[in-house]
Amino acid sequence: WAGAASVAAVDDLGCTPLHLAADWGRQSTVQYLIGQAGAASLAARDAEGRTALLRAAAAGELGTVQLLVEQAGAASVAAVDRRGRTALHLASWAWELDTVQFLLEQAGAASLTAVDARGRTALHAACSPPASSGSWVLEGQLDTVRLLVSSGASVFAAAGNGQTPLEVACSVAEVNQQVVQYLAQEMALAASPPPGAAAVFVRLPPQMALLAMSAVAAGWRAEKAEHAAYRAAEQRRRLEAQQLYVAVACQRAADGGC
pLDDT confidence of residue 173:
85
Distance of CA 242 to the CA centre of its chain: 31
pLDDT given at position 114:
98
* Residue 196: predicted pLDDT: 83
14 belongs to a structural domain? no
Q: How many CB atoms lie within 10 A of CB 126?
A: 32
Report CA dihedral (76, 126, 138, 193) to the nearest 10 degrees. Answer: 140
Give the per-residue pLDDT at 191: 78
pLDDT of residue 231: 57
Residue 131 lies in a domain: no
In a domain, 136, yes or no: no
Let me know if residue 167 belongs to a domain: yes
Chain centroid to CA 131: 15
- CA 250-251-254 angle, 5° bins: 85
What pLDDT score does 222 carry? 45
Domain total in the chain = 1
Distance CA 204, CA 138 (A): 21
- Which pLDDT does position 189 carry in this prediction? 83
| Angle, CA of 69, 75 and 157, to the nearest 5° | 110
What is the per-residue pLDDT for 198? 85
Examine residue 250 and state whether it is found in any structural domain, yes or no: yes
Helix (H) / strand (E) element for 86: namely none
- pTM for the whole thing? 0.81
Among 184, 190, 233, 186, CA closest to 210: 184
Q: Determine, yes or no, domain membership for 254.
A: yes
User: Which pLDDT score is estimated for 242?
Assistant: 65
In a domain, 169, yes or no: yes
Q: Domain of 251?
A: 155-258
Q: Which parts of the chain register pLDDT below 50? A: 1-2, 220-223, 225
Asked if residue 200 belongs to a domain, the reply is: yes
The pLDDT, as a whole number, for residue 124 is 98
CA 166, chain centre distance (Å):
12
Per-residue model confidence (pLDDT) at position 238: 62
